[in-house]
């Protein structure tokens, strides 16, 4: 919303504060000013619309002028002269179907209208605040709106059918051609203004094209109405049609303001359309306009909430400067009546008045103070702690953390063979990449790999993020996952897989990899399930070459919740054996696909209860072994906890182990 400094000065006579300083004051006390534009003989203060969401009155200059008057201690000049309104029988009837949707509809009829360009002062003023000058009649409706925050509309009376204006819900199938030359299909959720034939305006949003003011218009119906905020908003959102009127009405305008708008328009129309005559009296239909009860307010409560000293007279003078009615019924205790333009939604409880007093005394006058509260140890968030540990471990092992979006495309999901039905869909995406919520971190990890492989020969990265799995209409299941990837442009890919396996072991001491049938996006011969303490926690695999990565990439994908659940460790000190141990190496010739873990188990079983440790040393293939054989070497450490093993005993163990090397796997 743009405010003209000159306009405000007209309404606050004697205002001497410079625009720059005024802008600062408004920002500190009322609403955020975003900019100041100096134009010929005026200055335009631009106020952030978001900061006016709760203030219907600030959508007009009078409301802002009232703030300025209160801030600067000046008097406000109300431009409205209600006694200008004609008395007598109204020439048109008004029928409101539902006063909840239209609390009030007021109108005046004028004849002998001359439609012509507005005088320069009017055009300049509208254009200064960003409104287009159209013709004198339309310009006056916009002027009154910009001044009083009361949207108005002028119909060409000769184009209306019948002499009654209906405010009703649109019927299914009804249409309207609007002033913007668009046509809209309407239904019962849209409130319309209608004549005997059909809709002539979308209530509170836009006028109809057929009854618009034209160069030959002689007779007009000037509407000044009040519509329910929710209803206007619903229509405006549904039809994607935001107008100066709808923006104001959706902030809950003041129904007492309709006749003020008419009085002000009447005065101005006489200036810009010479010879114009008002016909009859004011047509005014309204429901019961309720005056809210006064609010109880005590100075003690205000002081406690602000954390600042405050005098009763300060409170009274602030509230009165903003035109609240104030009665001090006991020392320091007030009854406060809210003015109608603040009473629609903005102010209804004492907390709202706290803001009025607080902003006017100035928040900078409050000294920061530490509260007196119990010193407590906050409850622990174990999952967060665990995630941190995982992150730190991954970083220690050389991985860089990435954050990826929670969105995937159907194409990305399909590349990983995830059923689209498992995903939660986005109903209103604005970009093409946002149709589904991710049910796996892997599609984005693949993208990270492809993107980074353009610049780097090798890298390690990881993400902790949530998989989101659809559960019908219930909130989806959000499953935190840890996904790590290693990429190398050169090499046979082994190092990446074993580095990731090592990372898994760093995170889960003693976890195991179990060869698994590969999923379609996994290398068919390089896929394993990672299990820990008897439960499956995730997978380790190399990406299938057909996924289009130049080079090789391996991925470790783990379920964080399961990991955390299994991560229970009671640490107790264990004394070690005081007796010497001895070690020997054993090489086993085996088939190429015989698993190291199986050989290890066999040797360990053969070694028996005196085995302290068995350690994989190396694997060898190549000459002089035949191409389908390999040699695997282990180091076995043996010892007893209660004595020194004799060399004969050690030799016997060694014999047993050697005997076991020849045995085929069970």
Partner 1 sequence: MVEEQIQQLQSSALARIEEAKDLDALEQVRVDVLGRKGSLAQFSVGKLAPEERAKAGKALNAAKRALENAFETRRQAFAAEALDTRLKQEWLDLTRPAPGPRPGSLHPVTIVQNEIEDLFTSLGFAVLDGPEVETEYHNFDALNIPREHPARDMQDTFWLSNGHLLRTHTSPVQVRGMEKLGPPLRMIAPGRVFRNEEVDASHEHTFYQLEGMMVDRNVSVAHLIYFMKTLLSAIFHREAVVRLRPGYFPFVEPGFELDIRCLICDGVGCPVCKQSGWVELLPCGLVHPNVLRMSGIDPDEWGGFAFGLGLTRLAMMRYGIDDIRLFASGDLRFLRQF
Given candidates 14, 274, 292, 429, which one binds partner 1 under the rule CB under 8 A?
A: 429
Given candidates 159, 308, 333, 654, which one binds partner 1 under the rule CB under 8 A?
A: 308
Closest C-alpha to 591, from 501, 516, 661, 513: 661
* Inter-residue contact 590 to 621 (CB < 8 Å): no
Q: Does 447 bind partner 1 (CB under 8 A)?
A: yes
CA distance 461 to 480: 17
Shortest distance, position 237 Cβ to partner 1, whole Å: 8
Q: Does 29 bind partner 1 (CB under 8 A)?
A: yes
- SS3 per residue for 316-345: HHHHHHCCCEEEEEECCEEEEECCHHHHCC
Specify the residue, 206 or 279, whose C-beta has the smaller distance to partner 1: 206
Tell me which residues in 279-298 interact with partner 1 (CB under 8 A). none
**88: region left, alpha or beta (phi > 0 left; psi from -120 to 50 alpha):** left
Shortest distance, position 248 Cβ to partner 1, whole Å: 10
**478: β partners:** 468
CA distance 222 to 557: 68
Cis peptide before 624 (omega within 30 of 0): yes
Q: Does 382 bind partner 1 (CB under 8 A)?
A: no
Q: Does 613 bind partner 1 (CB under 8 A)?
A: no
Count residues binding partner 1 (CB under 8 A): 95
Contact region with partner 1 (CB under 8 A), list: 267-275, 456-464, 569-577, 586-594: 456-464
Shortest distance, position 376 Cβ to partner 1, whole Å: 5
What's the length of the chain?
A: 666
Given candidates 93, 162, 187, 398, which one binds partner 1 under the rule CB under 8 A?
A: 398
Give the H/E segment covering residue 400: strand 400-401
**338: β partners:** none
Q: Does 421 bind partner 1 (CB under 8 A)?
A: no
| For helices 61-72 and 19-29, angle between their N-to-C axes, nearest 10 degrees | 90
* Inter-residue contact 335 to 295 (CB < 8 Å): yes
**What is the token pair recorded at 377?**
């140890």
Q: Does 53 bind partner 1 (CB under 8 A)?
A: yes
Q: Does 368 bind partner 1 (CB under 8 A)?
A: yes
Q: Does 352 bind partner 1 (CB under 8 A)?
A: yes
Specify the residue, 132 or 400, whose C-beta has the smaller distance to partner 1: 400
Shortest distance, position 476 Cβ to partner 1, whole Å: 5
Q: Does 27 bind partner 1 (CB under 8 A)?
A: yes
Given candidates 41, 120, 330, 377, which one binds partner 1 under the rule CB under 8 A?
A: 377
Q: Does 432 bind partner 1 (CB under 8 A)?
A: no
Alpha-carbon dihedral sign for residues 59, 63, 68, 70? negative
CA distance 62 to 248: 14
Shortest distance, position 259 Cβ to partner 1, whole Å: 25
* Inter-residue contact 247 to 232 (CB < 8 Å): no
Given candidates 359, 544, 629, 656, which one binds partner 1 under the rule CB under 8 A?
A: 359
**538: β partners:** 530, 558
Pairing of strands 400-401, 458-469: parallel
Shortest distance, position 229 Cβ to partner 1, whole Å: 7
Given candidates 159, 171, 333, 391, which one binds partner 1 under the rule CB under 8 A?
A: 391
Q: Does 374 bind partner 1 (CB under 8 A)?
A: yes
Given candidates 201, 437, 540, 653, which one binds partner 1 under the rule CB under 8 A?
A: 437
Specify the residue, 364 or 570, whose C-beta has the smaller distance to partner 1: 364
CA distance 392 to 145: 60
Residues 6+ apart with CB under 8 A from 409: 432, 433, 435, 436
Shortest distance, position 120 Cβ to partner 1, whole Å: 34
Tell me which residues in 221-280 interact with partner 1 (CB under 8 A). 229-230, 233-234, 250-251
Contact region with partner 1 (CB under 8 A), list: 73-81, 257-265, 440-448, 633-641: 440-448
Strand order in the sheet with 333-337: 295-298, 333-337, 325-330
- The single residue listed with the structure tokens 């980074």 is 452
Tell me which residues in 472-501 interact with partner 1 (CB under 8 A). 472-476, 478, 499
Contact region with partner 1 (CB under 8 A), list: 109-117, 146-154, 209-217, 349-357: 349-357
Q: Does 431 bind partner 1 (CB under 8 A)?
A: yes
Q: Does 173 bind partner 1 (CB under 8 A)?
A: no
Contact region with partner 1 (CB under 8 A), list: 131-139, 464-472, 601-609, 631-639: 464-472
CA distance 444 to 557: 13
Closest C-alpha to 260, from 127, 53, 104, 136: 104
Closest C-alpha to 109, from 188, 218, 205: 218
Shortest distance, position 18 Cβ to partner 1, whole Å: 16
Shortest distance, position 322 Cβ to partner 1, whole Å: 13
Specify the residue, 450 or 581, whose C-beta has the smaller distance to partner 1: 450
Contact region with partner 1 (CB under 8 A), list: 132-140, 256-264, 430-438, 624-632: 430-438
Specify the residue, 561 or 631, whose C-beta has the smaller distance to partner 1: 561
Specify the residue, 81 or 385, whose C-beta has the smaller distance to partner 1: 385
Specify the residue, 77 or 457, whose C-beta has the smaller distance to partner 1: 457
Shortest distance, position 272 Cβ to partner 1, whole Å: 33
Given candidates 259, 470, 555, 588, which one binds partner 1 under the rule CB under 8 A?
A: 470
Alpha-carbon dihedral sign for residues 310, 311, 314, 318? positive
Given candidates 5, 166, 184, 459, which one binds partner 1 under the rule CB under 8 A?
A: 459
Give the H/E segment covering residue 506: helix 494-507
Shortest distance, position 647 Cβ to partner 1, whole Å: 32
CA distance 57 to 354: 19
Shortest distance, position 466 Cβ to partner 1, whole Å: 6
Integer-rounded Cα Rg, in Å, for the chain is: 40
Query: 10 Å Cβ neighbour count for 219?
Result: 18
Residues 6+ apart with CB under 8 A from 86: 108, 278, 280, 281, 282
Q: C-alpha 186: how far from its chain's center?
A: 30
Shortest distance, position 217 Cβ to partner 1, whole Å: 34
């Amino acid at each position: 919303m743009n405010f003209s400094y000159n306009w405000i000065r007209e309404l606050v006579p004697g205002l001497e504060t410079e625009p720059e300083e005024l802008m600062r004051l408004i920002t500190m006390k009322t609403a955020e000013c975003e900019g100041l534009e100096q134009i010929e003989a005026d200055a335009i203060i631009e106020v952030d619309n978001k900061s006016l969401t709760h203030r219907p009155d600030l959508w007009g200059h009078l409301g802002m002028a009232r703030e300025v008057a209160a801030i600067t201690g000046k008097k406000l000049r109300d431009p409205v002269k209600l006694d200008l309104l004609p008395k007598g029988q109204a020439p048109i009837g008004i029928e409101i179907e539902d006063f909840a949707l239209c609390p009030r509809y007021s109108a005046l009829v004028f004849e002998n209208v001359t439609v012509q360009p507005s005088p320069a002062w009017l055009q300049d003023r509208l254009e200064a605040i960003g409104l287009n000058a159209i013709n004198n009649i339309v310009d006056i409706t916009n002027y009154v709106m910009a001044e009083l925050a009361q949207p108005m509309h002028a119909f060409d009376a000769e184009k209306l059918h019948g002499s009654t204006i209906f405010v009703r819900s649109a019927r299914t199938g009804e249409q309207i051609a609007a002033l913007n030359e668009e046509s809209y299909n309407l239904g019962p959720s849209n409130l319309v203004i209608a004549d005997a034939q059909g809709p002539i305006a979308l209530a509170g949003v836009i006028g109809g094209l057929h009854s618009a003011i034209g160069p030959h218009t002689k007779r007009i119906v000037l509407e000044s109405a009040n519509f329910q905020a929710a209803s206007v908003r619903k229509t405006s959102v549904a039809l994607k049609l935001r107008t100066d009127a709808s923006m104001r009405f959706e902030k809950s305008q003041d129904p007492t303001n309709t006749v003020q708008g008419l009085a002000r328009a009447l005065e101005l129309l006489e200036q810009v359309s010479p010879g114009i005559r008002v016909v009859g009296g004011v047509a005014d239909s309204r429901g019961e306009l309720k005056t809210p009860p006064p609010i109880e307010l005590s100075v003690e409560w205000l002081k406690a909430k602000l954390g600042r000293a405050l005098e009763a007279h300060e409170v009274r003078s602030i509230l009165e400067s903003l035109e609240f009615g104030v009665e001090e019924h006991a020392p320091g205790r007030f009854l406060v009546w809210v003015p109608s333009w603040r009473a629609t939604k903005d102010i209804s409880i004492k907390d709202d008045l706290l803001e009025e007093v607080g902003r006017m005394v100035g928040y900078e006058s409050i000294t920061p103070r530490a509260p007196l509260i119990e010193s407590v140890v906050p409850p622990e968030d174990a999952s967060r702690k665990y995630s941190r540990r995982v992150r730190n471990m991954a970083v220690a092992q050389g991985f860089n953390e990435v954050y990826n979006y929670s969105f995937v495309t159907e194409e990305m999901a399909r590349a990983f063979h995830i059923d689209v039905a498992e995903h939660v869909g986005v109903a209103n995406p604005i970009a093409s990449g946002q149709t589904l919520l991710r049910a796996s971190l892997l599609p984005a990890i693949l993208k990270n790999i492809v993107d980074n492989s353009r610049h780097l020969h090798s890298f390690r990265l990881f993400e902790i993020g949530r998989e989101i799995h659809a559960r019908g209409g219930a909130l989806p299941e959000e499953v935190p996952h840890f996904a790590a990837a290693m990429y190398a442009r050169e090499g046979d890919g082994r190092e990446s897989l074993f580095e990731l396996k090592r990372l898994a072991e760093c995170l889960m001491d003693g976890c195991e990899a179990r060869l698994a049938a590969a999923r379609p996006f996994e290398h068919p011969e390089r896929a394993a399930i990672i299990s820990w303490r008897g439960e499956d926690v995730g997978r380790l695999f190399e990406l299938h070459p057909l996924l289009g990565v130049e080079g090789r990439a391996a991925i470790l994908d783990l379920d964080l919740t399961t990991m955390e659940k299994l991560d229970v460790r009671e640490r107790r000190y264990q004394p070690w054996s005081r007796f010497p141990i001895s070690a020997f190496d054993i090489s086993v010739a085996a088939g190429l696909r015989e698993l190291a873990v199986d050989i290890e188990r066999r040797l360990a079983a053969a070694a028996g209860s005196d085995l302290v440790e068995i350690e994989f040393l190396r694997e060898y293939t190549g000459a002089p072994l035949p191409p389908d054989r390999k040699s695997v070497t282990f180091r076995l450490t043996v010892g007893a906890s209660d004595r020194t093993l004799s060399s004969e005993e050690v030799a016997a163990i060694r014999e047993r182990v050697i005997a076991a090397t020849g045995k085929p796997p069970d």
